[in-house]
């Protein structure tokens, strides 16, 4: 960035220690930084340029912080702080502190080609749910693009609320946004509505499925010509459920009233994504008896090769050997099999013989230890469940999520950070921000999470 004066090791607001830049755009730079007050790794987006020539970027970064902070959703980028400070070299810099994410953007993923439809539908369903949460808060994102959707180790995240607007707000400038994803009504200055986000999400889903947006355009003039041609895009993706294809095309309607809501889109796509997951699991389960049977058949064939055949003196005519194969499909984990008693054949004139006692069954193997990702997700699931029942205050829940996600993306000094988190849980329970029952469950899960860093 031209005129930038920040360097590695600089400290902003006597708190955020800049480590290294991880991205840049326009007049801002995103830094990996260390929050010395809460002892966690964060992302700090800094506007470090001349105030007189920032082109309204200071207002944009402030709006981004405020808009994102209004949305309570686990798949929206977490915003921690906003402020303006004097840099070590005397320049005023505006900054927003956010959750540091580990992953790639959908744009980077699409460089390899279209996504499999179940993956594309699952991503779109998650983004639709975030947009639904935003619209309920009166916020319209206005910049849903592949660059602003991240595929992280903790799931899909929607980023960059820099040009977000309130529902009903008039467009300040026609050039806001990225042309292929801008709804037609925005070109005419219509009031902002949730339908503009739904249009952009429809374009994003179409691109994830096919590899290209329905109306490729790099300029506003090209977009206007493409829309004026009234060419209805087609969506022919093998295996894609008809309902998912239909809702995607409805999103691309030029009439905002004919588009589905974000909530409706999340419901339809979420159902299709869940059905795909269940089908995959069912196929995996059905494959188990086939494998067992195949192995058993091989064993029978080997045993038949060792059969010495009829012995001298046998009166029975030789015939085809018959093998009875019994396949046992394994039961659910930890389910004990019912022992089957065995008897010896009864011989004439002799008492019934019984075989030696079977050795006692081996004790079940101890459960596999949780992976770091699974343990972290267990903590996040508790936070989500307990916050929905108001047992964890929303701002406290957000802070816990952020700390867990930061640990998942950067495990440096994990033992100390886990202890800090546990002390905060105790403090928040004392001030009644966390219920006693929620604390007991949450603290146990955090302890288990902490153990995964020492294995």
Largest CA distance in the chain: 112
Given the residues 143, 160, 399, 443, the one annotated as active site: 143
Q: What gap in Å lies between CA 113 and CA 44, rounded to an integer?
A: 31
CB neighbour list of residue 265: distance below 8 Å, 6 or more residues apart: 124, 125, 128, 198, 201, 247, 251
Contacts 24+ apart (CB under 8 A), 325-331: 325/293, 325/296, 325/297, 325/300, 326/296, 327/289, 327/292, 327/293, 327/296, 328/292, 329/288, 329/289, 329/292, 330/288, 330/292
Q: What gap in Å lies between CA 426 and CA 389, rounded to an integer?
A: 19
E strand segments, 129-246 = 139-140, 149-152, 155-158, 165-166
Q: What is the 3-state secondary structure (H, E, C) of 418-447?
A: HHHHHHHHHHHHHCCCECHHHHHHHHHHHH
C-alpha atoms less than 13 angstroms from C-alpha of 100 in its C-beta half-sphere: 25
Phi, psi of 425 (to 5 degrees): -60, -40
Taking the CA atoms of 293, 294, 296 and 297 in sequence, report the sign of the dihedral they define.
positive
Give the 3-state secondary structure percentages of the chain, helix then strand then coil, rounded to 5: 45, 15, 40
Place of tokens 């808060």: 137
- Tell me how long the chain is: 455
CB 45 within 8 A of CB 32: no
E strand segments, 234-299 = none
Helix 436-451 with 414-430: angle, nearest 10 deg: 180
With CA atoms as reference, report the closest residue to 45 among 130, 197, 161, 126.
Answer: 161
Structure tokens at 1: 């960035």
Structure tokens at 177: 């946004």
Answer yes or no: 143 catalytic.
Answer: yes
Element of type H or E holding 130: helix 117-136
Which residues belong to the active site? Answer: 143
């Amino acid at each position: 960035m031209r005129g930038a004066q920040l360097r590695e090791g600089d400290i902003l607001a006597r708190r955020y220690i800049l480590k290294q830049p991880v991205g840049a755009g326009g007049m801002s730079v995103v830094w990996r930084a260390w929050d010395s007050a809460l002892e966690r790794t964060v992302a700090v987006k800094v506007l470090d340029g001349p105030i007189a020539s920032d082109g309204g970027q200071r207002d944009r970064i402030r709006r981004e912080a405020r808009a994102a902070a209004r949305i309570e959703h686990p798949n929206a980028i977490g915003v921690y702080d906003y402020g303006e400070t004097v840099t070590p070299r005397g320049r005023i810099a505006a900054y927003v502190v956010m959750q540091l994410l580990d992953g790639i953007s959908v744009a980077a993923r699409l460089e390899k080609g279209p996504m499999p439809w179940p993956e594309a539908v699952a991503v779109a369903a998650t983004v639709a749910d975030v947009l639904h949460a935003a619209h309920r808060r009166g916020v319209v994102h206005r910049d849903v693009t592949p660059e602003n959707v991240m595929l992280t180790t903790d799931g899909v995240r929607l980023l960059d609320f820099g040009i977000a607007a309130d529902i009903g707000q008039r467009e300040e400038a026609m050039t806001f946004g990225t042309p292929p994803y801008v709804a037609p009504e925005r070109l005419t200055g219509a009031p902002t509505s949730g339908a503009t986000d739904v249009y952009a999400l429809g374009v994003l889903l179409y691109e994830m499925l096919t590899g290209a947006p329905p109306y490729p355009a790099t300029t506003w003039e090209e977009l206007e010509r493409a829309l004026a041609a009234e060419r209805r895009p087609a969506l022919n993706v093998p295996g894609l459920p008809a309902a998912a294809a239909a809702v995607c095309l409805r999103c691309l309607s030029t009439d905002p009233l004919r588009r589905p809501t974000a909530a409706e889109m999340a419901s339809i796509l979420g159902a299709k994504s869940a059905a795909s997951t269940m089908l995959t699991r069912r196929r995996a389960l059905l494959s188990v008896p086939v494998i067992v049977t195949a192995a058993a058949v091989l064993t029978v064939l080997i045993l038949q090769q060792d059969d010495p055949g009829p012995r001298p003196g046998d009166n029975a005519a030789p015939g085809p050997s018959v093998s009875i194969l019994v396949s046992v499909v394994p039961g659910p984990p930890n389910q004990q099999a019912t022992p089957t008693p065995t008897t010896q054949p009864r011989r004439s004139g002799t008492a019934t013989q019984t075989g030696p006692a079977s050795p006692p069954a081996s004790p079940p193997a101890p459960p596999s230890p949780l992976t770091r990702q699974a343990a972290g997700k267990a903590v996040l699931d508790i936070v989500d469940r307990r916050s929905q029942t108001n047992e964890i205050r929303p701002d406290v829940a957000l802070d816990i999520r952020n700390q867990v996600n930061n640990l998942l993306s950067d495990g440096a000094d994990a033992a100390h950070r886990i202890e800090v988190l546990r002390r905060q849980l105790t403090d928040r329970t004392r001030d009644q921000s966390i219920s006693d029952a929620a604390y007991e469950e949450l603290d146990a899960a955090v302890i288990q999470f902490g153990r995964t860093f020492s294995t």
